[in-house]
Structures are given as structure tokens and as C-alpha cells.
Chain A
Amino acid sequence: MTTAVLAHDRIKDFDWAPSYVPGSTRYPTKFKIPGKTKDPFRTLVREYLSMEQEKDERQYGALEDVLSRTGAAARSDRGWMEALKLVLPMLVYAEYGAMKNMAQLVETVDNPELRQGYLTQALDEQRHVNQELYLLRHFARHAEDSEGFDRGMRVRGSNVFGRASRCCFENYFVNDPIESAITLSVVTETAYTNPLFVPLTEVAAFNGDDVTPGVFLSIQSDEARHMANGYSTLAAVLSVDENLPLAQEAFDRAFWCQHAFLDPLLGALYMYFTPQRINYVEKWQEWIVDDWVSGYIAKLERFGLKIPKHFAHAAERLQWLPHTAAMVGAATWPFHWWRFPGLDERGMEWMEQQFPGWHAIYGSFWEGYRALQDPKAGMIPFQAFPAAPPLCRVCAMPTVFPHPGAPTARVVEHAGRLHAFCSQPCQEIFDNCPERYLQMRAFDEIFDGWGLDEYIVKNGLLRADGRTLVAQPHVDDTKPMWTIDDIAKLGVEIVDPLRVLAAQNAGAADDSAAPTDGSEG
């Protein structure tokens, strides 16, 4: 036996069953955990440190040296910079949640072979948090329009999409710890880090951003080990027969929760912010269908695990999700900490060519968007809609998907309160465990009754001059910029649609002396 194998065998023998105190049950799980499994992670501390130091030196060395001195950030496409303003603060929370997941698994999975893998992954996640915040700060210092990079972390918790991202990523550690591990490692890290990090680096490079690819490729190089952690955790869980139905249900929910936020987000980022677009649906086919489903999940079939229950539904609605998300994001542009570029004729042609039928659904919106870019127009696209849709109680996204012409939204009453859902799977997830969602306050429940101008001022969304908005409906500095005075003139108020609906229902009930709210449950 080599010394490396001997060292590893001895290191695996560190754990012991406590005899002076009962074992801890800090993070209870409904799954049965076997005591033995294969160790996926034969990297010991010593090799790990050396490997990561080398990666850090390459990546930070480039950032500190050539890329800073040559002004690489300022040469990047302006729309792409806005996409990064949006996504980086959200991703930081995903990494942070992953770190917390590891610190829970070390308690729950009573298996010494996996424990050191969990700590090493936790340090990787700390690495990614630090890398992404470093990158944000790099752009805050060097991007042509830095405002937004300087405060994304501050405002993400009060933004409608920022809150949806938190909801998505809290599934990594605020749940049964094994279901969290399935969500993080089996779904996000194995399925979604590829369509996230790989096209992100491609799109960045297409759009003149030489800074981001180095950081994200370095992050992605840690992910293979995380996938191995996830696979081994799942294999351990599935080696106990009675876990299979629980694991399948957890897998079904985990996939849907990640799909519900990540697919609209990523699709909108890659197709609506830059002149060099990539077709996200094609990338999804490549990474999620061909690679994840046909490769990875096929391997899990021997344990009895099947493709997530709502996979076909997700694939079907994917066609329109990113477009609808982009439309909602653009319609609400003054609410955000990033600028939302419009679509020019070329962009609209690309959309129709790639997604036949696109123009009939979204064409008039984007034409209108262009017409409303100048503050003199005196209107924002948000005002063109009769009412804001309520937000989903499970994924926190607006209930307008897959597209406004064919919404799958529903509103139900539970425990004396109305709850909206974007889709049947989100409602199913709620019904399975409403306790997970009942304390959640939707964006429009928090800010109900606020003027849009008040929201912008109080949430720090004005530029250093104290009057120009950070957000703008374009990325062209030669065009006029919207100020808080322009917004105040609009008289837009944030309204909680569920409060309005509840009031209407109460009124209808009074009129007819019978409940006619059409709700279920």
C-alpha cells in the first residue's frame, strides 16, 4: 500500500461514537444515513492547500496585474456589465448558502469518509464568496459605470428578483439537510453550474470582458469535487432502500425550485443584456438534457432514482420563461440596481429567428420600451400593465409564467391568508410543507403602499449626485438619464395584488353572502 493510501485510511478512522454524551441531532433528517460509503474526495489538506494556492495566484495575479492596468473592465460591453451588476450579488448568497449546507452535513451524515470532503468544500465556498466579492469590487473600481456594483450587496434583500434569488438559494441550507444536499449538489452543482459558469465565461469573452472568465473558470474548477461530494452523499442515502421514495420526492422539488429561478434568470442574462447573444435554450439542451439527464441521472437509475417528475413541464415552458422574465425585469426597470438595455431591431430579429412566435408575444412590449426610454415620455412600461402580478409564495417570482398569454398562476387561501403560485409544481411544493413558506413576506407585501420614488430613495437607488437613478432603461450615456423628479411625477405606487384581491373577495362575500373567491384549499 502506498503512503498516500495508508494516510488516507488512517485519516478516515478519526471518528468515534460518543460515549459520555448522546450524539447530536442539530439538523434532523427524515432520511436514514448508512455508516459507510465510498469516499469521493481523496484530497487531503496538504494537497488541497497547494492546489488552491496555485489557482489563487494565477487568478488574482491576472486581476491585479494586466487586467487592472490595461483597463479591461472599461472595455467590456456596457450591457454585459449591467448583467454582472445584477447577478454577482445574487451568486454570493448561493456560495454562502452552500458553505452553510456543508457545516450541516458534517453533523447529519455520520460518515467520516465524507466529513473532510464537506469541510474542504466549505473552504471552496468561502473561496467563491471572496472571489465574487473581489470581482464586484474590481468592477466598482474599474467599470465605466460603476454605480450599482458598489451597492448590489446592500440592496439585493429589498429587490424583487434579489428576494427570489435568496429564496432559491436558501433551499441549500434551510430545509431537511439531505434534501438541501440534493438541491445543492445533485441539482445546482451538477446540472446548473455548467449552464451558469460555462456560457457566462463565453458570453463575457464575446462581449469584451477579459476579467470575468478567469474568475469563473477558476470557480468552476472546484465544482467537479463538489459534484463528487454530492454523488457520494446521494449514493450513501440511496443505499438504504427505504430512502428511495423520500429521495425521489426531494429530487423532484429540488429540481423545480432551482429551475423556477435559475432558468428565467440565466436565459434573460444571456439573451437580453448583450449584443452578442447566445441561445440559452440550446445551452440548456446541451448541459441539462444531454449531459445531466442522459449522463448523470442515467447513472442514478441503478439506485432507482428517476428524472424529476416535472422535468418535461420545465423543458416545455423553458421556451418562453427567459423572455417573460426579461420583460418583467425591463417593465420594472426603476426598481433595480442595474440598467436594463432595450432591444434594437437586430435584437428583435434574432429573437424571432431563434424563437419563432416571439414577436407576437413580446414584440410590441419591446417597441414600447424603446419609445419610453426618454424621461420626456413621462411613463414607464410598468404603467402599461393593468396590474402587477402577485408573487409566488414558493419561488418568489412574479406569477406570469410561462408567458402572459398562457399564465399558469393560481391563488389559494391557506390558514386565512391568500397565497399565489406561479405554477402547479410550486403549489404542490407548498402543499407538501406550507410551514416552510408561511413566514415569507413577498416584496409587494413589504412595500405595499409605498410610492416608487419613496422606494428608490429609501433603498439607496440614487447615484452620487442624489437625483439620478442608478437604474436606467438603456446603457447609452448619450441619452438622457432619468431622475427621481421624473419618477415622482409618475405617481406610481407599489400595490400588493393579494391584498386587493382579498379585499375584493371580502366585498363579494358581503354582497352575495356566499364565498365566491374562486380559490381552492
Chain B
Amino acid sequence: MAADATAKAPRDFTYITPRRRRVSEYEAVNLYGQPSIDGGWDIDPGMLRTPEGRPAWRVESTRLRHPDWFDFRDPSQLWQRTFTKLQAEQERSIERATEDAVAEGTFEDFDPVWLQEMARHYRVWSFVEWGLFRAVFSASRECLTDALSAAFTFEAFDRLRHAQDVVHYLLAIETAMPSFSDAGAKEVWLTDPVYQPLRELVERLMHVTDDWAEVAVVLNLVFDPIATETAVSRLIGRHAPLHGDGVTPAIVRTTERDRRRNRAWTEELVRMVTAAEVPSASANREIVSGWIESWTPAVVAATELLGAVHARFPQRSAEFSDLLKAVLSAQPDLHIDAEVGA
């Protein structure tokens, strides 16, 4: 009897409804670590309360509603092992590119004005990434499923990585060229009028935006595609070669890879909450659209000021207004209406 009973055992996790035919490694190692907010089979979303009376997780942590947050799957299917491997490889590629540049004396070929902008504008961006790391890490605490928590935690790590990579890289330049210094960049971040609207946006995301889904939508679908794309990809990544700098784009490309991944999971979140079968799809669509509409003008206005950085470059590939137009026209199309109407 015992042999019969065990012979038919499922031999895999029975509580996961796989997205494909079988439970994937990503699903197996991530799902149901967090209790579900509506009780579900975990009975309680949390057992204890804080001294202020709040439970472990709260449905009001976002204005979006979904009948089962555990439906979420990160399209990248990353879990800690694959994430760590990916980022360790990216870091090694950056380290090698920097080492080679030091050995070959490449930094000497950089345009001197460009080097100043690296010390100023690129270094300022490390503060932006630090602030965004803080915002994303806080969102990871409150989100309503483990798969989202993992996506937020990885994104927080991406942003800390970007912030630290700027410092490591500029320090390598400083070591190779003792006259180079990025001292004073923090003061620029704190006082230069060019960066103040950006700093205000970052501070709002860090300290005021309590809705974790809003943090994801604003950051990955508005801020990064407009502000980070302009400040890092267009101003630094694309202008570096014009100033004799073939090294920095290799670093920028790793951050672009991360941004594409973070945009993809956020788009998947939006798709999930606005899918036709979701009862609150219409309300969710309005909320997401509202976030995008309310943040976009401020992000665009803050980004427009970066024209002052562009104006200082000795070599320019295009007018700043054209550059910004191209960035805005490449904004992700969310297809929200199509999904709901489907």
C-alpha cells in the first residue's frame, strides 16, 4: 500500500500554477515565500501587528487592485543565482575595460573638456542612482508578492551597482591622471540649478511616493526612458566617442541592459493589472495612466535643463532639442487601451 501511495507522488511543487507546461526553476524558487494579502490558503496576510497596529502587508500599499498578485512573473525569469551571475559578468567586463584603458593610457586621449564633464555630470548621476536605489528598495518592502519583491530587490541592486561603478571608474581615471578630480560633484548635485528639478523628483520618489507600483511605473516607464536615457545614454554614451572616449560606453551599455529588463517587468505588471479578465482593470488603467500623465511633464521639464550640459560639449551629434525629441518619441507604448478592450 505504501509503495502505491508514493509511486504516484507529484515529484514537484503542487501549489504553483506554472505559466508554461511545467513549473520553471524561477517559479519554484520564488513563489509563495510571502503570504498572500487576501489570506488565500495562507489564512492570514500576517499574524503580528506593529505597535502602531499595521500588519505585515497591506492591500492599500498600492492603489492598484488585482485578485491574485501571485500571478506576476518577471519576464526575465531571474532569481538570485542567475541575477548574481549576470551582474558579476557585467562587472568583470567593466573592470577589464577599465584596466585595459589604464594600461593603454587611453584616458590621455579623452578631450579635456569631456573629462571635466565626466567628473561633473557623470559623477552627479551617481547621486541620482543612489536616490533611486533608496526608492526601489523601499518599494520592495511593501509590494504584495515575492516575485515582485525579487524584481524590486534586483533593481535596487542594479542602481547601487550603477552608482558605485561611476565612482570606481572615475577613480581609475584619477589614478591614471592625478590632475583629474571629481571633487565638488556633490555640491553641483545639491546646488546647481540644472539639477535641482531632477533632485526634487528623486527626493519625491525616495521619500513621498509610498505606492510601490507607482514607484515602478514612474521610474521604469517615465523617469528612466526620459531622464536617464537623455542624461546617460544620449549625453554620455553617444557623445563619448566624439571626444575620444571609447571606454565609457561599455559601462553605459550594462546599465541600458538593466533598464530594458526593469522596463520589461514593469510593463508586465501593467499588463497584468489591466488584463481584460481583471475586475478592476479599468480603474487600474486610469490609475497607471494618471501616474504617467502626472509625472511626465515634470520629468520632461527637468530633463530639458540638461541642455546646459550638452551645450558645454565641444562636439555635439545633434541639437539638444532634436535629441530630446528623439528620446520622447521612443517612450514605451504601454498598449493599455488595447489590453483592456481585448
Contact = CB atoms under 8 A, between A and B. Distances in A.
Interface of A: 3, 6-7, 10-11, 13-16, 18-24, 26, 28, 44-46, 49-50, 52-53, 56, 60, 92-93, 95-96, 99-100, 103-104, 106-107, 115-116, 118-119, 122-123, 126-127, 129-130, 133-134, 136-137, 140-141, 144-147, 150-151, 153-155, 157-158, 163, 166-167, 170-171, 173-176, 396, 433, 435-441, 446, 460, 463-465, 468, 477-481
Given A3-B175, A13-B186, A150-B11, 14 more contacts: A18-B207, A20-B199, A49-B88, A50-B88, A53-B88, A122-B156, A126-B153, A147-B10, A150-B9, A154-B41, A175-B51, A396-B47, A440-B47, A465-B4
The interface centre, meaning the residue of B5, B85, B88, B138 with most chain A CB atoms within 10 A of its CB, is B5
A438 B49 CA distance: 8
Nearest to A462: B5
A106 B137 contact: yes
A7 B175 CA distance: 11
A159 to B, nearest CB: 10
B13 A140 contact: yes
Contacts of A24: 138, 206-208
A173 B56 contact: yes
B100 interface: no
A157 B42 contact: yes
Given A123-B80, A147-B9, A481-B2, A154 B164 contact: no
Nearest to B199: A20
B190 interface: yes
Contacts of A176: 50-51
Interface in B256-309: none
Contacts of B30: 129-130, 133
Interface string B181-209: 00000100110000010011001101110
Nearest to A153: B32
Nearest to B92: A50
A60 B81 contact: yes
A464 B9 contact: yes
Interface stretch (B109-117, B125-133, B216-224, B311-319): B125-133
A253 to B, nearest CB: 12
A140 B23 CA distance: 13
13 contacts: A10-B167, A14-B163, A21-B208, A28-B52, A52-B84, A92-B33, A104-B141, A119-B137, A130-B30, A145-B6, A157-B44, A158-B42, A441-B43
A506 B262 CA distance: 60
B11 A463 contact: no
Interface string B142-180: 000010011001001100110111011001100100000
A96 B168 CA distance: 32
Nearest to B43: A157
Given A45-B157, A50-B92, A53-B84, A134 B41 contact: no
Interface residues of B, number: 84
Interface of B: 1-6, 8-15, 25, 28-30, 32-35, 41-44, 46-56, 79-81, 84-85, 87-88, 91-92, 95, 126-127, 130, 133-134, 137-138, 140-141, 146, 149-150, 153, 156-157, 160-161, 163-165, 167-168, 171-172, 175, 186, 189-190, 196, 199-200, 203-204, 206-208, 210
The 4 A-B pairs of least Cβ separation, nearest first, read: A103-B141, A154-B15, A157-B42, A49-B88
A477 B91 contact: no
Given A154-B14, A477-B3, A16 B190 contact: yes
Contacts of A146: 6, 9-11
Contact of B48 (A106, A158, A440, A479): A440
Contacts of A92: 33
B189 A129 contact: no
Nearest to B167: A10
A140 B9 CA distance: 9
A226 to B, nearest CB: 16
- A interface SS class: helix
Contacts, number: 257
A435 B156 CA distance: 33
A175 B48 contact: yes
A130 B80 contact: yes
A432 to B, nearest CB: 9
Contacts of B196: 20
Contacts of B79: 126, 130
A21 B204 contact: yes
Contact of A154 (B32, B56, B149): B32
B5 A468 contact: yes
B8 A465 contact: yes
A477 B189 CA distance: 69
Contact of A123 (B15, B47, B153, B165): B153
Contacts of B95: 46
A96 B146 contact: yes
A175 B51 CA distance: 6
Contacts of B53: 435
Contacts of A435: 49, 51, 53
Nearest to B36: A157
B330 to A, nearest CB: 28
A45 B200 CA distance: 27
A328 B240 CA distance: 70
A167 B208 contact: no
B1 A481 contact: yes
Nearest to B168: A7
A216 B224 CA distance: 39
B50 A174 contact: yes
Contact of A477 (B2, B92, B208): B2
B259 to A, nearest CB: 17
A217 B138 CA distance: 30
A209 to B, nearest CB: 19
Contacts of B52: 28
